[in-house]
Amino acid sequence: MKGIFTLGLSLLSVAQALPSAKASARADGTLFSIGGKTGYVAGTNSYWIGFLTNNKDVDTVLDHIHTSGLKILRVWAFNDVNAKPPSDTVWFQLLSSAGSQINTGADGLQRLDYVVQSAEKRGVKLIINFVNNWNDYGGMNAYVKAFGGTKEGWYTNSQAQEQYKKYIKAVISRYANSSAVFAWELANEARCHGCSTDVIYKWATDISAYIRSLDSTHMITLGDEGFGLPGDTSYPYGYSEGVDFVKNLGIKDLDFGTFHMYPDSWGVPYSFSDGWIKNHAEACKAANKPCLLEEYGAYARCDIQAPWQQYSLSLANDGMAADMFWQWGDQLSSGPSPNDGNTIYYGSANATCLVTDHVKDIDAASKS
């Protein structure tokens, strides 16, 4: 999701102690199997949870997600800077041509360590994302500032890719034995405007194979918006952002497909949504891989989003495996978590509709 805001938060120290455990999430045809149970599941996104410095806040959020019946949480495992921020700010990686630094300290990846530990205890599965297409929390442009070139050239910039791989290795080495990991994700909403679709395809092929060499157990996914489908040249179906959803689904080391849905931001009517879901489901079914509606939002309108959930669930045997709304909201020790207009706050009427009722529908469908 574009347009999130950086959090400036105080630091607390946390010890790293992740137990060894085998992955309990995998692809099973066009569905996911979690803990030995195959079926449609629901989840959500929290880009900010890894930047919280109050452990009780992390536990509260994950308690609420778990007790709500959501199975998957997508988090940012990136927080890239080009200069060291103030001492009370969390950052994960300093990018510089003079020498980059991965922050494994108490104001660095130890914050993410605690999220993983807390998720393990509650059985919440995490999609862990390595870099942002957008400038929030550094993103690809932070690499460009450090190593030169252009945003579109990031995918083939040897210095940028070398450091990106170093960062991936640093993160995976911390959590490869964690049962909390649902999947490793290459990027948030990867785009290469005006590029041949071969650019992202070749990059995703290379990076997913690299991740597989580091961890053969957990799933891997791209994290794209699902652009590029045959039969319609209009936005967002076209290939102008350098993404070919069907071609990328064929990459051997990508275990499932992702797509996002924001009719308001994309300037398309809400009636667009069913077709968007159906077309991706059909592509995933043809590839025999699960389809995850990984982000969707309509300015927190239950009456709009609930039918999307119901339609996606109706395709559980035809390509759709899960949906994850953007984004989770909760009350933290410092006040409400960030609200970008799409936030669904725990305990709200929207949460009853889009979380409680949706989970009940999923449970009922699994028994029918």
Residue 319 to residues 31, 313, 316, 362, Cα–Cα distance (Å): 7, 10, 6, 16
Contact (CB, 8 A) for 112 and 77: yes
Q: SS3 of 132, please?
A: strand
At 231, the amino acid letter reads G
Most distant CA atoms of the chain, gap in Å: 60
For the record, the structure tokens of 77 come out as 């495992």
Contact (CB, 8 A) for 51 and 7: yes
Distance of CA 148 to the CA centre of its chain: 27
Alpha-carbon gap, residue 292 to 254, rounded angstroms: 13
For residue 51, what are the β-bridge partners? none
Q: DSSP class of residue 341?
A: S
Q: DSSP class of residue 39?
A: E
Alpha-carbon gap, residue 19 to 210, rounded angstroms: 24
For residue 324, what are the β-bridge partners? 43
Q: Which letter, b or e, does each residue of 49-68 get, where b requires 16 or more Cβ atoms within 10 Å of its Cβ?
A: bbbbbebebbbbbbbbbbeb
Q: Dihedrals φ, ψ of 213, to 5°?
A: -70, -25
Alpha-carbon gap, residue 188 to 337, rounded angstroms: 20
At 96, the amino acid letter reads S
Query: What residues are labeled active site?
Result: 189, 295
Q: Dihedrals φ, ψ of 95, to 5°?
A: -105, 125
At 152, the amino acid letter reads E
